A and B are shown apart, each in its own frame.
Chain A
């Protein structure tokens, strides 16, 4: 099987606390996977290990057949994996357009001196970047708000902008950490369609953490269930829904 992202027995210990225990995952190029679990199950910790924010205590991460376990977050991003955050982390005092432009930062080739002297290379590359950013904003229907400060957008649009910004990296793998958190049912419905559309349009793999079961069961093709840092089940939505271990983790054991 062709694998873009592979987590191999990832373990994270914070002092005496075992946050994640031997989590393994394989992601194929256009997979749409979900990671679910009760609060504190270690889902975000898994994301943080994948993206280099935490160095796993044990285990390896490989992205596009390259070991990226010990790389720093920006290096991993530059190799083709981007993410969004559970508590939105936009550049709040920058405009919507600048938020997207920042994601193109590492792809630009002009040097510091080019921008100080405003040379042709600078103007050309900046222009291309803006054109590309505007196309992306259009997809997320934010094109009318490009001069707004990110902090002034309504919540749902901030979520959309964060996904747009993550896509501006040109990732091969996109990690979404609770994209529907705080959204109303209508917005969640739109988001569900959007996630599927993004996968089909950009042909990338998406892994998402989510508490909204309707969304997860709707879009994800395979699901990993974590509880107390341990994987208790994996499979298709139908398999997960009828898995007794999952039901026990969420609802407690029947006596």
Chain B
């Protein structure tokens, strides 16, 4: 019983971070657009979903219907935020894009901090407890299937081609602006979804839950797992959700130094395996038990 009440919230967080990492992986790892504002989209989704739950949700609807409405609203809101940020910012490249998106994330957090309707710096309380492990992991599965299918189609290939070589992609007739924005909007929408699931699982959200540090940690998840690999994003998200808990076993001091440990982890990773645990590969049974021979990959 005790273990369940301890593991439950952790697994919930892991699920939320898987969705966040998958979204950021689409933007950073697959489209190759360096974004540092993922926590901003997460916050938009969380506050929109929570606002629906607190102010607008009709009581006669069953909880799961309300949750779905909240999820959809959060996805739409975060996608719109994605378009608003993406259209001007995606003209920038590399570091400049990272700085612009970082700024956006901070703007969102500061706006929320000053919005009294949603509690401002006191935090947003009394959010209905609608989401649970089942709904979170159902969405995780939906996201994974959706992304996997997207990447196997021509739209996914177009997104990948931008990462590979933007000039060549344009020369091959790929509308690079359109597909960069598409990747950005899908990633933002997924962050919004994660926000709404998170808000309805925690029942309490606070502007500082969506600070810049979280954008960095989500980025760390996909770097650790391997930029461009969905499997990597999932493994990275689970790993970094459980790592702080694991460090707690060694007492307060070790736990307090966790950001230092993260940095050391990253340094060692860059030295030993710069492409991340999975590189750009996906988990694939065929690779564990090769059936065909002469496959170049």
| B-binding residues in A (CB < 8 A) | 51, 53, 72-74, 77-78, 82-83, 85, 89-95, 98, 101-106, 108, 110, 112, 114-118, 122, 126, 129, 145, 147-149, 152, 165, 169
Contact = CB atoms under 8 A, between A and B. Distances in A.
Interface residues of B, number: 29
Contact of A91 (B153, B165, B182, B297): B165
A116 B152 CA distance: 9
B115 interface: no
B187 to A, nearest CB: 14
Contacts of A90: 165, 168
Contact of B149 (A94, A105, A116, A147): A116
A72 B168 contact: no
Interface stretch (B14-22, B155-163, B266-274): B155-163
Contacts of A94: 157, 160-161, 164
A141 B156 CA distance: 27
A149 B297 contact: yes
Contacts, number: 108
B288 interface: no
Given A102-B158, A105-B174, A112-B155, A85 B296 contact: no
B167 interface: yes
Given A74-B173, A77-B170, A149 B161 contact: no
Given A91-B160, A94-B164, A106 B173 contact: yes
Which of A73, A95, A103: most chain B Cβ within 10 A? A73
28 contacts: A53-B170, A74-B171, A77-B170, A77-B171, A77-B172, A78-B173, A89-B167, A89-B171, A91-B165, A92-B164, A94-B160, A102-B161, A103-B173, A105-B154, A106-B175, A108-B154, A110-B154, A112-B182, A115-B154, A116-B146, A117-B149, A126-B153, A129-B154, A145-B296, A147-B295, A148-B296, A149-B297, A152-B296
B296 to A, nearest CB: 4
Contacts of B164: 91-94
A147 B296 contact: yes
B165 A169 contact: no
Nearest to A115: B153
A114 B171 contact: no
A169 B157 contact: no
Contacts of A104: 154
Contacts of A106: 173-175
A143 B236 CA distance: 37
B208 interface: no
Nearest 7 interchain pairs by C-beta: A115-B153, A91-B164, A77-B173, A89-B168, A106-B173, A73-B170, A148-B296
A74 B176 contact: yes
Contacts of B169: 91, 102
B149 A118 contact: yes
Given A115-B156, A148-B296, A169-B173, 7 more contacts: A74-B176, A78-B173, A82-B171, A85-B167, A90-B165, A102-B174, A105-B158
A102 B157 contact: yes
A219 B269 CA distance: 52
A122 B173 CA distance: 20
A85 B170 CA distance: 12
B157 A105 contact: yes
Contacts of A105: 154, 157-158, 161, 172-174
A89 B166 CA distance: 10
A53 B166 CA distance: 12
A104 B149 CA distance: 18
Contacts of A93: 164, 280
Contacts of B170: 53, 72-74, 77
A91 B174 CA distance: 13
Contacts of B174: 74, 102, 105-106
B150 interface: yes
A190 B294 CA distance: 28
A77 B176 CA distance: 13
A93 B170 CA distance: 17
